Chains A and B, each alone.
Chain A
Amino acid sequence: MKFKRLTALMLAGMMTLSLAACGGSASTTSGTSDTETKDSAEETTEAKDTDTAAGSDDKIVVWTLAADLEQFAARYTEETGKEVEVVVIAPADYPTKLTSALGAKSSEADVIVGEPQMLPNFFEAGFFDDLSQYNVDDYKDTIVDYVYEAGKDDQGIQRALSYQVTPGSIIYRRDLAKEIYGNDDPQFISEKFKDFDTILATAKEVKDAGYRIFSDTGNLRWYVNTQEPWVKDDVLNLSDTAIAYMDTAANLYQDELVAFAPEWSAAWYASMAGELPLNAGWSDLAELEGADMTQVFSYSLPSWGALIVRDNAADNKGNFGICKGPSSYFGGGTFLGISAYSEKKDAAWDFVKYCTLNDETAQWWLEKSNGDVVSNTAVLEANKDYTNESFGNQKTYEFYMGEAQNIDYSVKTKYDDTIGGFWGASIEAVQKGEMTKEEAIEDFYMQVEATFPEITVVR
C-alpha cells in the first residue's frame, strides 16, 4: 500500500515538474538596458577585435529567412574571428517562430530579420531594438533612401537596415524586340510599357507577331499603388491606377494576350530559355506535349527577378534587356535588426553594421552574389559603369540605382498585402466573367470593410 502511494505521489510530482519545466523554457529573462551608446559599442567591438580567440560566450545567433546571411557570417568570422551562428528558417514559418520566441522574451537570437511586409508588425511588437542608440543616423547617406525609410517604425525610430535594394523592372527579350519592332533599345522598349493603355497596345502587337507580352496578368500587380497608398488617413483609396489595372488585366486575359503560365510554374521557368506551351498553368511540361507553343516577351519583376531570368535563360543568356515600367516600385528585401531581448546587443550591432553599412562588404557581396543589387550608394556608384553580359552588356547597376532612388516609400501601408490580395481576387472574378466590374468593386469594398473596420470605405 505504501509503495502504491509513493508511486502515485512520484508520478504526480513528475507531471507537475514537467509542466513547470515547459513553462520555464518560454520565460527567459530580458536582455540589457537600452541606454548603451554607440561609443560603448565601439569600445566593446575594439576590445573583441583584439581577442582573436573569441570563445563561444561571444557567439551571436542570427535568425534569418535568407540563406545569404550564412555567407556574410562566414566572411565576418574570417575577418574578425568572432563566431556567428546562422539559423535559417523557412520564410512561411519565420513570422510564427519569431513571434512565439520573442513573444516569450527569448534571448536566444541576437540578430533578427524581416521582409518589408512583416516589419510593421514586428516593430509594433517591440521585437526590433532601437538603432538610434548606435547613432545610426550618421550612416543615413550610406544606403539608398527608401531602404533607410523602410527600416523605420511608425514613430520614425530606425529599427532595421538592409544590405540590398529590390527595385522593379521590365526584363524583356532583346531578340524578340528586334524581330517585332526592329529596335531593342531599353529607352524605346520602356516607352512600350509607359502606362496600362500602352501596355495593352503593346500586348496586341506582340501577339500579332506570334508571342505573348507576359507569362500571366499578375505581372502588372507591382504597379498598383506605387504612387498612392491603399489607405490614406484611414480611408480606402481605390486609385485610378488600380482601376486601370483591373481593366487592362481583364483585357489581357479575355483577349488571350498572355501565355497563362503563372509565376513560379514549370512553364514560367521554361519560358526564360525559349518556347513554352500556351495555357500551361501549373502543369508539368511533360504532360503538355503537342500543345500550341509560344514565347514570352517580358517579365515584370524586382531586381532579384533578373537573377532568376538570367539563371534560367540557358541559350537565351545575353538575349535580355532591362527597362523601366509604368512606375518605380520595389518588392522584397531582407532587413536586419537587433533583437530587443538579446544579451549581446553590441556584438549584434557590430554584425548588422558589417552586413549593411560597410562599403567593403557591399562590394564583396555584389561580386559574390553575381548580381544582387546592394543598398550601399557608394558601391552602386562605383559599379554603375559595369556592363552586364547577361543583359546585352547593359549597365544594370546604374539602372537599378536610378530606380531605387525614385521609389516613394511613404505610399506603403501595413494593409497593402491583404488589400492587394482582395483586389487581385476581384480582378480574377472580372477576368473570368464571374462578376461585372461594378460587382467586383462592390465585393472588394465589402471585403475591406469586413476585414478592417477601422478603414472608411467611400463608395
Chain B
Amino acid sequence: MKAADKTKKTKGLHNRDNMGYAFIAPFVLVFLTFNIYPVARTLYLSFTDYSGFNVPTWVGLTNYIRVFKDKLLWEAFGNTVRIWGINIILQLGIAFLLTIVFSDMKYRTRGLSIFRALFYLPNLIAATSVAYLFKTMLDWKFGSFNQILKGIGLISESVDWMGTPPLLRTAVGVIGAWMWFGNSFIMLMAGVQGINRDYYEAAAIDGAGRWKVFGKITLPLLKPIMLYVAITSLIGGLQLFDIPYLMTLGQQKQVRAVNTAVMHLYTMAFKNRQIGYAGAIAFILFFIICICSILVYLMMYSKKRKEED
C-alpha cells in the first residue's frame, strides 16, 4: 500500500512508468527525423512544383496525372521489368539448382557453410566496384569478356555489349543474378531444411524415386519460399538503380537502354530539377511496392490458414 502511494506521488521521469519514454526517445527522434520526416516532406513536395531552388507552389494532382502520361517513365518501367525478368530467371534457376545439389542426400555434399559464404560473397562487394568491374570487362574493344569468347572460338568479331541496348539490359540482369543468387540460395536451403524429414522417410518406404520425391515433396513445400524470393526480388528490382546508373554514367544512349524507374526519378529530381514530379514518381513506386508486399503477406497468411484448417 505504501509503495503504491509512493508511485502515485512521483511525477515525470521519477515515475518508473515514464522512464520507458526516455529510453525509447533516442530511437524515436532518429526515426522521426530520418524516416518519417523525409517521407512526409516528399509527399508534400509531390503536390508542388518544387525545383530545389524556388518556393514550392501547390499544384494539386498535376504531378500524379503526369506520371501516367510520361512515356519515358513507362519505357523505364518496361526496362525495369525486362532486366528483372532476366535477373529472376537466372537468380532463382541457379539458386534452385544449387539447392537441389546441396539438399540431395545421395550427393552428400560437404562444406555447405563454406559454399554458402562463397555464394554470398558477390553480394558483399560494393555496387561501385561491381559496376566498374563489369564495365571494364564488357568493353567491346579491350574487355576481357570478348577476348575470352574469341579465345574459345564462340565469337569471331567483338560484341558491343555496352552499346547494344538488349545486350546491355541482359548484362545488367545477369550481374544482378550473380550478385543475388547466393542470397536466394540461403533462403531456399533454409526452406529445404525446414521440411519435415518424415515426408522423405515415408516416400522412401513407399519406394519413391529421387525425382518423384523432388517433384512431389520438395518442390511443393518450397513453393511459398520461392514465391517470397520472387516477390522480394521484384520489390528490389523496382528499386534497381546503382548498377545500371554507374555502368552508364554520362552515356546518354546507354542510359536510355537501361533507364530504370528509379533512374528516371533521379534524373527528374537532380538533373532536370523537377523535385515535385520526382516525388510523385516515388509515391507511385511506393504504392506498387506496397501492393507487392500485400501480395506476399496474403500468400503467407493464406498458407498459414490452410495449415490451420
Q: A-side interface residues toward B, CB under 8 Å?
A: 5, 8-9, 11-12, 15-16, 19, 99, 103, 121-122, 124-126, 281, 283, 287, 418, 421, 424-425, 428-429, 446-447, 449-453
Q: Which of A16, A124, A425 contacts B25 (CB 8 A)?
A: A16
Q: Mark B150-169, 1 if CB is under 8 A from A, else 0.
A: 00000000000000000000
Known A125-B54, A446-B72; contact A425-B253, beta-carbon cutoff 8 A = yes
B212 is an interface residue with CB less than 8 A from chain A: no
Name which residue of chain B comes closest to A421, CB basis: B252
CA distance A50 to B175 in the complex (A): 67
Name which residue of chain A comes closest to B24, CB basis: A12
Total A-B residue contacts, Cβ distance less than 8 Å: 63
Known A121-B273, A287-B142, A450-B73; contact A16-B54, beta-carbon cutoff 8 A = no
Q: Which 3 A-B pairs have the closest CB atoms?
A: A125-B53, A450-B72, A15-B26
Known A8-B23, A447-B72, A451-B272; contact A15-B253, beta-carbon cutoff 8 A = no
Known A283-B142, A428-B253; contact A16-B29, beta-carbon cutoff 8 A = yes
B299 is an interface residue with CB less than 8 A from chain A: no
- CB B146 to nearest CB in A, in angstroms, measures 14
B23 and A12 contact, CB distance less than 8 A:
yes
A125, A418, A451, most chain B CB atoms within 10 A? A451
Known contacts A15-B29, A16-B29, A122-B53; 10 additional CB pairs below 8 A are A12-B25, A99-B52, A121-B51, A121-B273, A283-B141, A424-B252, A425-B252, A425-B256, A451-B72, A451-B268
Give the number of chain B interface residues (Cβ < 8 Å).
28
CA distance A8 to B22 in the complex (A): 8
A453 and B66 contact, CB distance less than 8 A:
yes
B8 is an interface residue with CB less than 8 A from chain A: no
> Which chain B positions have C-beta within 8 A of A9?
13, 22
Main secondary structure of the interface of B (DSSP, over half): helix
Known A99-B52, A99-B53; contact A429-B253, beta-carbon cutoff 8 A = yes
> Which chain B positions have C-beta within 8 A of A126?
53
Known A121-B273, A429-B253; contact A446-B71, beta-carbon cutoff 8 A = yes
CA distance A281 to B69 in the complex (A): 38
Q: Which of B29, B141, B256, B272 contacts A418 (CB 8 A)?
A: B272
> Which chain A positions have C-beta within 8 A of B256?
425
> Which chain B positions have C-beta within 8 A of A424?
252
A125, A126, A424, most chain B CB atoms within 10 A? A125
Q: Would you list 23 pairs from A and B whose C-beta atoms are within 8 A, ordered by A residue?
A: A5-B19, A8-B22, A9-B22, A11-B26, A12-B22, A15-B26, A15-B30, A19-B29, A99-B52, A99-B53, A281-B141, A287-B141, A287-B142, A421-B252, A425-B252, A428-B252, A446-B71, A446-B72, A447-B72, A449-B71, A450-B70, A453-B66, A453-B69
B240-285 residues at the A interface, CB under 8 angstroms: 252-253, 256, 268, 271-273
CA distance A9 to B53 in the complex (A): 40
> Which chain B positions have C-beta within 8 A of A121?
51-53, 273
> Which chain A positions have C-beta within 8 A of B18?
none
CA distance A447 to B73 in the complex (A): 10
